[in-house]
Structure 1
């Protein structure tokens, strides 16, 4: 299964949270509480994103972090690269010269093609897109009332 690290997962949640209030300065402690992670984890994520120029650090007593540019200009590919480093479905998709059979592999080109499609999709989606909810929460009371009696 393809999977991003927990740090990257938390980073995307943190960035979406910041994108919902882009004009505010977000402190690490406030962000940690909002997304449900420890303060050191939030601090680590924020520093990585600032190093990648996705966030801007604001110093001072009321300091914290802000988006470095509008959420619509930050791609999900940039966000993942900032937290994961070079990514690829296979070793040869991300970096050439790391696989012993790379020169004779008959499916390398196909993996690279699949990787390009995924990278293009990640480049096409922005932080602004990610920050928009795609579902409506289910009201538990309405769900319980609608269930057949046999399941109750």
Structure 2
């Protein structure tokens, strides 16, 4: 099963909330309350995002966290990569074909690579601005078609 971990899911939601007012500063406590999440988890995610330069940490009485860049400059792929690591459907995509004990006999690594490219491209095209405007529904925006081996995949972003 291809599934994002809980921290990544929460992280995208926290950043989408912050993107609604990209110039504001947010405390971990306020974000936790608004999102209905435990504050220690939100604090951990924010620290991780700050180390990766997706958010900026401000100290002092008017401190908190703010986005490091504009929401339309941050892709969902970048957020996932920061919180989970490289986007790779199989080990051979991430580590190279030689990482697999069956790599020399594998006849599908090229297919996995093409599928991974489509997934990565789709996630790269969806920005934090798109995610923040979704309001819990599918993100608004034009329909894009991704083509993969003659099959049309339609998605909104």
Say whether the fold is shared (TM-score over 0.5). Answer: yes
Task: Give the drift of 1:98.
Answer: 3.0
Indicate the RMSD between aligned Cα atoms, in angstroms. Answer: 1.4
Counterpart for residue 106 of structure 2? 105
Structure 1 stretches (4+) deviating beyond 6 angstroms?
none
The answer as to 2:76 corresponding to 1:76 is: yes
Structure with more of its chain in strand, by fraction: 2
Counterpart for residue 26 of structure 1? 26
2:57 aligned counterpart, secondary structure: strand
Structure with more of its chain in helix, by fraction: 1
Task: Give the drift of 1:23.
Answer: 1.4
After superposition, give the CA deviation of every residue in 1:87-110 in whole Å (9 maximum; x if it has no partner). 211111222243211222100110
- C-alpha separation in 2, matches of 1:112 and 1:30: 41
1:118 aligned counterpart, secondary structure: helix
Counterpart for residue 85 of structure 1? 85
Task: Give the drift of 1:82.
Answer: 0.6
1:30 aligned counterpart, secondary structure: helix
User: Which segment is superposed worse, 89-98 or 127-136?
Assistant: 127-136
* Matched ranges for 1:1-150 at <5 A: 1-96=1-96, 97-133=98-134, 135=137
Give structure 2 stretches of 5+ with no counterpart: 139-157
Q: Which has the larger radius of gyration?
A: 1
